[in-house]
Structure 1
Amino acid sequence: MPGDELGRLVDHLQAVGLVAGFASGLTKVVVGHGFDTVKTRVQLTPGGTQGAVHVLKTIVAREGFAALYKGATAPALGWALIDSVLLSSLHGYRHFLFRHGMTENTTGTRPRLTLGAMGLSGLLSGLTSAPLATPIELLKVRLQLQKQKSVSERQFKGPVDCARQLVRSQGLTGLWTGFTGGLLFRANFFYMFLTFEACMRGFTKLRGTPYEPNVAITNLLSGGAASLCFWTMAIPFDRTKNQMMSHPYPLPYPESSSKRPSFIYVARMIHAREGLRGFYRGLGPCFIRAFPSNACAFLVYEGILRYLGADQRR
């Protein structure tokens, strides 16, 4: 392929990846943010005695149904930006790995990336998106934990006010509290994209049979299965990351700068207080949320890639 043509192809893939990622991120927020709020409350409620159903009922009864979407303003734009970075970089890493030989040949088809390469590109894109994701997730967590129904009674009036207070008390780097946890959490995109591709390839074996699903069903089922695998592996890192970001909750946030806990310190604290089970708090609402939100997000993402001619499996 001539250099100019290759350059245009790469630019096209990156542009489509940004568009598809943006749409995928918005879809994820609309479908899943309410479940995410329940998960955050379950994870960070002191004592860990409240289940997801109890937390959901309490939020709706005391704060109203709209409270499930506390902290949604930041993710509404932020998740779209995060997924744009995640998925456009995913395209770039796939292209790089393809050019460097991480491919396999199958009967009657062109070379394709190996499953290991699909997982590795997911891991690298997860790490790439972590610097952007951390402050957005930090604001989301702190806004979700405010239990006051009236905005006027809350310490943080919104994401901008929350960010302003954090910078005033801890400096600009305070917005990246929990960054190490975010890196470890987002490295688990290895499992998501590996599982998604494995499922998609499994469904291709049904072509020409009475059991062949259509493309939309294939994307929904593969995306849902990938998200369940992702959260099974990632939930311990998510719990630790969110605990770091919520410090010193449930105590009031300090007006002056305070020392932020490290990932190792928080992990040891969770284990000492709750044992290994403590790392899996919130897994139930994760599973309830993961399948529909990520299945719909993958459906939107893959649909845009195919529509705009940027499917990079081959």
Structure 2
Amino acid sequence: MADKNQHQSQNKKTIPPYMKAISGSLGGVVEASCLQPIDVIKTRLQLDRSGHYKGIAHCGSTIVRNEGVRALWKGLTPFATHLTLKYALRMGSNAVLQSAFKDSETGKLSPQGRLLSGFGAGVLEALVIVTPFEVVKIRLQQQRGLKPDLLKYKGPVHCARTIIHEEGLRGLWAGAAPTVMRNGTNQAAMFTAKNAFDVILWNKQEGDGKVLQPWQSMISGFLAGTAGPVCTGPFDVVKTRLMAQSRSGGELKYKGMFHAISTIYAEEGLLALWKGLLPRLMRIPPGQAIMWAVADQVIGFYEKAYIHNAPL
């Protein structure tokens, strides 16, 4: 009876959202530093309408040859900042939403509640953080050349100021609609799949005090991060095209999300809507593996120190 009461007391204690936010932000810093070159290549491929790049390897070697190795880390500052803030908001808001969707009597979260929590977290991060940071990142990444004085955008702050000056504040939210659809769907799938793989592969339940080894977290995170890019490829391509076009250059080629999808399909074919899929698969699943390896260790430490070993 005493053991049962102790177990119930521990189950009432939950990991606070701010700890989830901290764990996600730390994972985001590590992920951004490791995987920025893949993101640069993905962006260049998605913006390539003339077939200038023959593939991932050719794109990467061309960038290095023409612009130097450092060009593979173009946009790192906004990318790392955006990942840190995005993961903090994603993990924190998902924890808050999961608490709201849990059964008040049993404390259990249904599969539908987990999906809705993930989707809500994805929508929130897309509107608050992802869209403006990715607009700046993509504008910086699409610039070609070696001499800074010949580039339109001199850095992330200058880029943001220029966009606001030329296009208004709304310019930083170009491509918001496909970003919301992409991120909402991605996070609904990712949180649900990560929990499922933890249970299936490692018999790890949320809040049970068991800390996965980093390699176990990486496997679960990698698998959870694979489905989203395939399902949301068209949204990602459209997002990139909408973000890359400047409102200061006259008439816009793409009028919105649905117009962009139909235009790309008509001009470039169906497969063009999945341009950059392979580099996305090279970046997102490994990125999720890295992020969860860090986040699970932080959360596991908190569970052991402040929940399961806390005085009752």
The normalised TM-score by structure 2 is 0.84
Task: Report the residue type matching 1:113 in the other structure.
Answer: L
Describe the superposition over 1:181-224 as per-residue Cα deviations: whole angstroms up to 9, x where unpaired: 111111121111111111111113599xxxxx963222111100
Q: Shift of residue 134 of structure 1?
A: 0.5
Q: Shift of residue 295 of structure 1?
A: 0.2
Matching of residues 158-307 of structure 1 within 5 Å:
158-188=155-185, 189-205=187-203, 215-248=213-246, 254=248, 261-307=255-301
Of 79, 85, 92, the residue aligned with 2:83 is 79
Contact 1:25 1:83 in 2 (8 A): yes
Q: Extract structure 1 runs of 4+ deviating beyond 4 A.
A: 255-260
Q: Shift of residue 263 of structure 1?
A: 0.7
Q: Shift of residue 229 of structure 1?
A: 1.2
2:65 is aligned with 1:61: yes
Contact 2:135 2:173 in 1 (8 A): yes
Describe the superposition over 1:95-140 as per-residue Cα deviations: whole angstroms up to 9, x where unpaired: 1111457x7xxxxxxx642333322211110001112211001001
Describe the superposition over 1:142-176 as per-residue Cα deviations: whole angstroms up to 9, x where unpaired: 10111112222211001111111111111111111
Contact 1:116 1:194 in 2 (8 A): no
Q: In the superposition, relative to structure 1, how do residues 115 and 218 fare at CA in structure 2: closer, same or farther (>3 Å)?
A: farther
Distance 1:198 1:223 in 2: 11
Describe the superposition over 1:39-77 as per-residue Cα deviations: whole angstroms up to 9, x where unpaired: 011111113463111101101111111101101111221
Listed as ranges, the gaps of 5+ residues in structure 1 are: 104-110, 208-212
State the number of aligned residues: 287
Matching of residues 16-35 of structure 1 within 5 Å:
16-35=19-38
Provide the alpha-carbon RMSD of the alignment. Answer: 2.7
2:28 is aligned with 1:36: no
Q: Shift of residue 257 of structure 1?
A: 9.2
Listed as ranges, the gaps of 5+ residues in structure 2 are: 1-8, 206-210, 306-312
Q: Shift of residue 259 of structure 1?
A: 8.8
Percent identity, aligned pairs only, is 26
Contact 2:254 2:260 in 1 (8 A): no
Secondary structure class of the residue paired with 1:113: coil
Of 99, 107, 120, the residue aligned with 2:116 is 120
Contact 1:13 1:310 in 2 (8 A): no
Contact 2:212 2:297 in 1 (8 A): no
Distance 1:271 1:303 in 2: 44
Distance 1:261 1:310 in 2: 52
Distance 2:262 2:52 in 1: 20
